Amino acid sequence: MIAKTLYEKLWDSHLVHQQENGNALIYIDRHYVIEVTSAQAYEGLRMRGLKAWRPETIIATADHNTPTRNWNLGINDPISKLQLQTLDNNVNDFGALHYYPFKHRLQGIAHVIGPEQGATLPGMTVVCGDSHTSTHGALGTLAFGIGTSEVEMVLASQCLDIKPLKSMRVNIHGKLSKGVSAKDVVLHLIGQIGTGGGSGHAIEFAGQTVRQMSMESRMTLCNMAIEAGARAGMVAVDSVTIDYVKGRLYAPTGKAWDDAVEYWQDLHSDENAVFSREITIDAAVIEPYVSWGTSPELVVKISGNVPDPANETDPTRRSWLEGALLYMGLTANMPVQSIKIDKVFIGSCANSRIEDLRSAAKIVQGRHIASTITQALVVPGSMEVKAQGEAEGLDKIFTEAGFEWRQPGCSMCVGINEDRLSPGERCASTSNRNFEGRQGPGGRTHLLSPEMAAAAALAGHFTDVRNILSH
């Protein structure tokens, strides 16, 4: 028997046809459809007189354009309103396993509701017209984002024409320090290898540190694998995975559950499997991180300073760093903790699960945001997360501290709904991207963990959350 990586096992079990040009057709088990990337795909089916091949595999939700307050008033923006209505019409015409309509109790971000409802199961291939579909890989799946034409192909045939990836393993060993989270781990990785370091690869996160992580933390790692340039991120199945999936809405039951678990237990890389690239990280050296520039790789430890482009020998990179400093309104060598912020956003498919909200609430409980903060948002990733947070009293902790407790959606992560930055505004954000204008034209985004965002809200500037936790 040839030893295989987890990626190779998932690929081989879904291979339909190997083509002479090196590409292959693979079968897709689960297809998440969202409002911003599906309209043209469905219109393509209509023009060709085709039906959705297996509508029961489709999960549809609206998340990018949905407002996060005053749902009872509907949507004011005409473009957003049209996109949601178009998704509604398409799902009604072509069918879906379960459509999560606006205001439904299961409304939420696709990459949050899928795992929490058991619609994503170990061993699946999972796609969506959104790059952060890699999130689902935390459950031992091969999950990645696809383009509009590929959305149409999967709708029509349940297959995808794709080039095979290489396997890359990131081994993380040791115990994380107090106040250091999965977000810090992945920002540390991206800071090391850059946003192109995983290009052409599927990254498997492995090692003692990952094994000790919850499913929510593993999802954060896999969510941001795409920011390291990888097409997919994944974690091998273990007892944490199986315990998480058991009893969820779409999880198998009875004998089907027993059979599934027996299969899932082989969803790991074999002992002698060969990876194209391996990286080892000592968890003990990781500190809380904050991004300072316009890329997730431009990060610095909270104890550090903004880098000086003058120290960069590569002229191209030096010019890039100078441009990032100019856009972000920062100066070289300034302490990160001296950077003042205007807004705070806790949410997105990277960090809007119940564990994320609990960790942030722990920091702000009994405290209040700084008077200089103009807005602080907490946006649960789904109606289920929102309800659970309210049952635990998290909503009251946040609102008493000066935060706004919102309804589920992508919110300020993407800036195409009502929640966005104005030009020049600076935001401490738990989202996953910080390129120019991501949260609004001229907006300045700093990526960090929920705990660090909460601490920044209290101080009015970036600060080391470990100082709060030590008291």
Using pLDDT thresholds of 50, 70 and 90, give the confidence band for residue 246.
very high
Q: What is the pLDDT of residue 99?
A: 63
Using pLDDT thresholds of 50, 70 and 90, give the confidence band for residue 107.
confident
Q: Determine, yes or no, domain membership for 256.
A: no
C-alpha 243/C-alpha 247 separation (Å) is 9
Q: Determine, yes or no, domain membership for 283.
A: no
Share of the chain above pLDDT 90, in %: 93
Say whether both 463 and 323 belong to one domain.
Answer: yes
What is the mean pLDDT of the segment spanning 57-85? 90
**Does the structure show a pLDDT above 60 at 101?**
no
Can you list the positions of beta strands (E) in 230-371?
232-234, 277-282, 289-291, 299-301, 343-346
Report DSSP state, residue 293.
S
What CATH number corresponds to the domain at position 431?
3.30.499.10
Q: What is the pLDDT of residue 98?
A: 67
Q: Determine, yes or no, domain membership for 40.
A: yes
What is the mean pLDDT of the segment spanning 184-208? 97
| Domain boundary residue, one of 104, 139, 163 | 163
Q: Determine, yes or no, domain membership for 16.
A: no
Greatest CA span in the chain, whole angstroms? 65
Closest residue by Cα to residue 427 from 382, 374, 387, 381: 374
| Domain boundary residue, one of 163, 179, 212 | 163
Q: What is the pLDDT of residue 415?
A: 84
Using pLDDT thresholds of 50, 70 and 90, give the confidence band for residue 96.
confident
pLDDT in tens, 116-129: 999 999 999 999 99
Q: Determine, yes or no, domain membership for 135.
A: yes
Q: Determine, yes or no, domain membership for 106.
A: yes
What is the mean pLDDT of the segment spanning 33-39? 94
Q: Determine, yes or no, domain membership for 226.
A: no
C-alpha 112/C-alpha 110 separation (Å) is 5
For residues 73 and 373, the model is more confident at 373
Q: Determine, yes or no, domain membership for 260.
A: no
Count of structural domains, the chain? 2
Say if residues 60 and 101 touch (Cβ distance below 8 Å). Answer: no
pLDDT in tens, 400-425: 999 999 999 999 999 889 999 999 99
Say if residues 203 and 168 touch (Cβ distance below 8 Å). Answer: yes
What are the tokens at 20? 């002479």
**Does the structure show a pLDDT above 60 at 227?**
yes
| Domain boundary residue, one of 137, 163, 189 | 163
What is the mean pLDDT of the segment spanning 123-136? 98
> Residue 362 belongs to what domain range?
289-469
